[in-house]
A and B are shown apart, each in its own frame.
Chain A
Amino acid sequence: MAPELLPIRVTIQREEDIIRARQQGRDMARSLGFGAVDQSRIATAISELTRNILRYAGTGTAILRPATQGARRGIEIICEDEGPGISDIPFVMQEGVTTGKGLGIGLPGTQRLMDEMKIESQVGQGTTVTIRKWLR
């Protein structure tokens, strides 16, 4: 039985934090038993979400932790910020839509890479994006 992995909290306030968060995410994914392609999917998803934090909110946090649901095991990443929030979530989930300098593929792309994605946001309060990937 592998030792239980503890949640990791990464503060996002500089560019280097994006790299740190995705490396920690990859390490945790590997320890949980994810293969190379899933590790890449998870690290890329973390990169997209933490860059959104930096770009739109300035600062925030990424929490990485093992997840369980019944017999399923996997990884969960929660990216939170207290930035401007998203007023129209279906709008930002459309392909090619961007309010910043991005390509507009970040959020819909992240959803395709992961098994689950949930966006909670209040204008003026901030945004929390939770993503999960399950071991097959």
Chain B
Amino acid sequence: MAQIPIIHLSDVLIVTTQDAISDTDALDLQDQITTAIERTGAKGLIIDISALDIVDSFLGRMLNDIAAMARLMGTKTALVGIQPAVAITLIELGLELRGISTALNVEQALRTLGARIARQT
């Protein structure tokens, strides 16, 4: 599978997903992100899913799991760029992304994550 680029910007990792993610891609993403957190010691993780026009229960669970794993490693996660139709579908499907903070875009996420990281240190 193609490596998903992970951008390391000061204390934060930024991951931008492609438009269609297979189940295997999602599992690989977990591995790649946790490895990158260990390697960089990043305090924040931003996952940009603005290219995704569908998030089903499997991918939703993967995103929840990635946030939980990152939390165990001392990294805060923000999910950004959820399309309006995806947000509506997720709630009707019954998938609450608990324990994962969200922001409209990367800029907002950087601001809130940055503030939270600063408070902590």
Docked Cα-Cα span, A26 to B53, in Å, equals 10
| B contact residues around A26 at 8 Å (CB) | 53-54
Chain B contact residues, majority secondary structure? helix
Q: Does B51 contact A (CB under 8 A)?
A: no
Which one of A18, A36, A40, A110 has the highest number of Cβ atoms from chain B below 10 Å of its Cβ?
A40
Q: Does B2 contact A (CB under 8 A)?
A: no
| B contact residues around A102 at 8 Å (CB) | 57-58, 61
Q: Which residue of A43, A103, A109 contacts B54 across the interface (Cβ within 8 Å)? A: A43
Q: Which of A44-52, A61-69, A70-78, A82-90 contacts B (4 or more CB under 8 A)?
A: A44-52
Binding site for B on A (CB under 8 A): 15-16, 18-19, 22-23, 26, 36-37, 39-41, 43-44, 47-48, 51, 95, 102-103, 105-106, 108-110, 112-113
Binding site for A on B (CB under 8 A): 20, 22-24, 53-58, 60-61, 83-86, 88-89, 92-95
| A contact residues around B89 at 8 Å (CB) | 37, 40-41, 44, 113
| A contact residues around B83 at 8 Å (CB) | 40
Q: Kindly provide the distance from the CB of A103 to the nearest chain B CB, expressed in whole angstroms.
A: 5
